[in-house]
């Protein structure tokens, strides 16, 4: 009946945050407002992606490379700026750190009252943008500790356990926002007719085991023997299926619902692999742990890793507990 539909459609993201904290404490208000700003960034990015083939300067490269030495796409720059704009005049976030900026960006008008730092990857999997496939944004919220007067941002070099919220936005056939404030994992679907993210799945639990293994097998000959042995094991056993989209957010979203494991291991030349800890691996690890799964470097829980720099990388093995443990058993045997 329509009462049910109305109740459902009224469970917006901002309201859901308040419900989970069951209070009108300052922290609940802050987190609700923070998630609302992130949702706005998601809507602005989704809008541009939806019309990317039609608007000026949406597709292709800028011709520049970022701090990581990767070619920057126009959509990376746009999305990076969207998050900055979304937090202007918020009084919440004094500092934002992202994959696209060497050093954090400070919003002076929000400092020093802004009690939070936002870490984010504005467009994850940006090679998918030009071919109209799924991409994502990843975000992590930390409490700002200390004043960071010299703008060194050293206080950000902390374990992922200290995140107070994390999540991603998946730009696919629909736009989804999946988040956790440490009380389970919940998914919201953007209803374009309302312009709101509406609750679509609550308390998501990842299966303990699943069929999917998600890894770039093109790197096979650059891996250590242990990872190759794991892949050979998968090839020789029934019940596995490969899925790899080139965008981590989409691959992990599938695994969150269907079970399995995503891997981006180190290679002989790059033992740390590709993915960055603070704004890619740690937020996803926070979510997957909250859903009952695990995330590991192969020898350590991702959430325990303390990075030595803002853009530090780690190998990532993430997903269903049993599948992560199986990969680890190969790595530990190889040591
Ligand atoms: P990006 O944030 O620069 O797009 O890089 C991260 C992406 C992940 O989404 C994806 O899993 C991985 O890089 C793909 O890398 P590769 O092409 O080496 O398999
Ligand atoms: Mg990325």
User: Could you tell me which residues come within 8 angstroms of residue 196 by beta carbon, excluding any fewer than 6 positions away?
Assistant: 12, 13, 190
98 touches 121 (CB < 8 A): yes
Interface predicted TM-score (ipTM):
0.97
User: How many Cβ atoms from other residues are within 10 Å of residue 174's Cβ?
Assistant: 12
Taking the CA of 119 as reference, the closest ligand is 2
How many angstroms separate the alpha carbon of residue 265 from the centre of ligand 1?
12
How confident is the model at residue 51, as a pLDDT? 92
User: Is residue 302's pLDDT more than 90?
Assistant: yes
255 touches 206 (CB < 8 A): yes
The pLDDT tens digits for 133-143 are 999 999 999 99
Q: Does ligand 1 lie within 6 Å of residue 76's CB atom? A: no
Reported as a pLDDT band with limits 50, 70 and 90, residue 294 is very high
How confident is the model at residue 245, as a pLDDT? 97
User: Is residue 332's pLDDT more than 80?
Assistant: yes
User: Could you tell me which residues come within 8 angstroms of residue 43 by beta carbon, excluding any fewer than 6 positions away?
Assistant: 175, 190, 195
Strand order in the sheet with 316-319: 241-242, 212-214, 260-264, 316-319, 294-296
How many angstroms separate the alpha carbon of residue 170 from the centre of ligand 2?
13
Q: Does ligand 1 lie within 6 Å of residue 245's CB atom? A: no
Q: Does ligand 1 lie within 6 Å of residue 91's CB atom? A: no
Judging by beta carbons within 10 Å of its beta carbon (0-12, 13-18, 19+), is residue 198 exposed, middle or buried? middle
For the chain, give the mean pLDDT.
Answer: 93
Q: Quickly tell me which residue has 């790197």 as its tokens.
A: 219
How confident is the model at residue 52, as a pLDDT? 85
Reported as a pLDDT band with limits 50, 70 and 90, residue 146 is confident
CA 241-255-99 angle, 5° bins: 115
Looking at the DSSP bridge assignments, the partners of residue 261 are 213, 319
CA 81-40-179 angle, 5° bins: 105
Taking the CA of 278 as reference, the closest ligand is 2
How confident is the model at residue 226, as a pLDDT? 96
Helix ranges (H only) for the chain are 2-9, 13-21, 26-50, 74-87, 225-236, 248-258, 282-290, 321-334
Q: Choose the weakest-confidence range: 19-23, 210-214, 314-318.
A: 19-23
How confident is the model at residue 10, as a pLDDT? 87
The pLDDT tens digits for 71-129 are 888 899 999 999 999 999 888 999 999 998 999 999 888 887 778 999 999 999 999 99
CA distance 129 to 174: 15
The pLDDT tens digits for 242-255 are 999 999 999 999 99
């Amino acid at each position: 009946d329509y009462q049910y539909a109305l109740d459902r459609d009224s469970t917006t993201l901002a309201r859901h945050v308040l419900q989970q904290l069951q209070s009108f404490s300052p922290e609940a208000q802050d987190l609700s407002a923070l998630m609302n700003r992130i949702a706005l960034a998601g809507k602005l990015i989704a809008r541009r992606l939806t019309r990317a083939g039609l608007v000026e300067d949406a597709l292709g490269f800028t011709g520049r490379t970022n701090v990581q030495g990767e070619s920057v796409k126009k959509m990376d720059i746009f999305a990076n700026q969207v998050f900055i704009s979304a937090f202007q005049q918020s009084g919440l976030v004094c500092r934002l750190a992202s994959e696209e900026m060497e050093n954090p960006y400070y919003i002076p008008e929000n400092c020093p009252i802004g009690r939070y730092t936002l870490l984010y990857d504005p467009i994850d999997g940006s090679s998918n943008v030009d071919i109209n496939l799924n991409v994502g944004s990843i975000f992590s919220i930390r409490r700002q500790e200390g004043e960071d007067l010299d703008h060194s941002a050293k206080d950000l070099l902390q374990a992922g356990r200290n995140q107070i919220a994390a999540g991603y936005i998946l730009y696919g056939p629909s736009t989804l926002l999946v988040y956790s404030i440490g009380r389970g994992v919940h998914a919201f679907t953007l209803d374009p007719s309302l312009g709101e993210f509406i609750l679509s799945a609550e308390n998501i639990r990842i299966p303990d085991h699943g069929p999917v293994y998600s890894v770039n097998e093109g790197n096979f000959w650059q891996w250590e023997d242990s990872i190759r042995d794991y892949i050979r094991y998968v090839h020789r056993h029934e019940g596995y299926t490969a899925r790899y989209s080139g965008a981590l957010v989409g691959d992990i979203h599938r695994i969150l619902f269907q079970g399995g494991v995503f891997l981006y291991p180190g290679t002989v030349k790059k033992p740390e692999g590709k993915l960055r800890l603070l704004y890619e691996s740690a937020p996803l690890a926070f979510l997957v742990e909250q859903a009952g799964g695990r995330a590991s470097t192969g020898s350590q829980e991702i959430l325990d890793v303390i990075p030595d720099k803002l853009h530090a990388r780690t190998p990532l093995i993430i997903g269903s507990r049993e599948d992560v443990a199986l990969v680890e058993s190969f790595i530990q045997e190889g040591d």
